[in-house]
Amino acid sequence: MRLVLDGVTVCLETGRSYLLTAENGSGKTTLLQVMAGLIRPTKGRVLWRGKPVTRASKAEVGVVLQPPMIYGDLTGLENLTLYAGLYGVKSPKAVAERWLHRFQLSDAMHRPAREYSKGMRQRLALARALVHAPSLLLLDEPFDGLDVQGIALVQTILRDTVASGGTVFMVAHQLEPVEHVDGRFTLRNGKLVEVS
């Protein structure tokens, strides 16, 4: 067994954005999965608003991992409506349609997601992460597969999310195309290090 993360401590503030960049195999995705409550750390704990993570607190988190959790046989609208319903969103279909419009996927909403390009699937995954209005977004390579227009669109939506009081924690291999963030980190030998 290899030690991936070693004594990692991070405190995320409301209305702020953070970026973690590090090499492949350094533990970035593992850290995201621990933060999202998808895997348990062998030691230590994850707290949400100062208390242990519960099912209710997990519902306040939106997650995009690689590969995105999209059902290829469902249409874009069916994918988002399904997730909105699972999170107890009122009027799930109407909310799903709004997010599809926001991510410029309205024209493709009735097509199976397997027919989407990589960039379209990525935008759909981001819409899925936001459909229930989470307080925290945990994003693994959020700009993966996006063209210049898609990157600009996602940057705008993430800025709006932070401006409205949400918190965004992103993981990337490199700094581009991420715009301004409030905190930058890297992983070195399993340790989370803040960088300027």
* Residue 122 is assigned to a structural domain of this protein: yes
* 123 belongs to a structural domain: yes
Q: What percent of the chain has pLDDT over 70?
A: 97
108-142 pLDDT tens trace: 999 999 999 999 999 999 999 999 999 999 999 99
In a domain, 113, yes or no: yes
Q: Which two tokens stand for residue 62?
A: 């939106």
The number of domains in the chain is 1
Three-state SS annotation for 111-163: CEHHHCCHHHHHHHHHHHHHCCCCCEEEEECCCCCCCHHHHHHHHHHHHHHHH
Within a domain: 78? yes
The range of the structural domain enclosing residue 157 comes to 17-195
Burial class (CB in 10 A: 0-12, 13-18, 19+), 49: exposed
Q: Residue 115 domain-assigned? A: yes
Q: What is the DSSP letter of 12?
A: P
DSSP β-ladder status, 61-64 and 17-21: unpaired
Report the amino acid identity of residue 107: D
Task: Give 29 or 55, the one with higher predicted confidence.
Answer: 29
Confidence check: pLDDT of 71 > 70: yes
**Integer angstrom CA distances of residue 150 from 42, 97, 107:** 38, 18, 15
Q: What pLDDT is stored for residue 165 in this prediction? A: 96
Examine residue 31 and state whether it is found in any structural domain, yes or no: yes
**Lowest-pLDDT range of 67-71, 105-109, 114-118:** 67-71
Angle of helix 118-130 versus helix 92-102 axis, rounded to 10: 130
| pLDDT, tens digit, 9 for 90 and up, residues 9-49 | 888 999 999 999 988 888 888 899 988 888 888 888 888 88
In a domain, 12, yes or no: no
Please state, in angstroms and rounded to a whole number, the distance separating the CA atoms of residues 145 and 1.
Answer: 33
Which residue type sits at 72? G
| Domain harbouring 132, CATH code | 3.40.50.300
Task: Evaluate the omega torsion of the peptide bond into residue 67 and state whether it is cis, within 30 degrees of 0.
Answer: yes
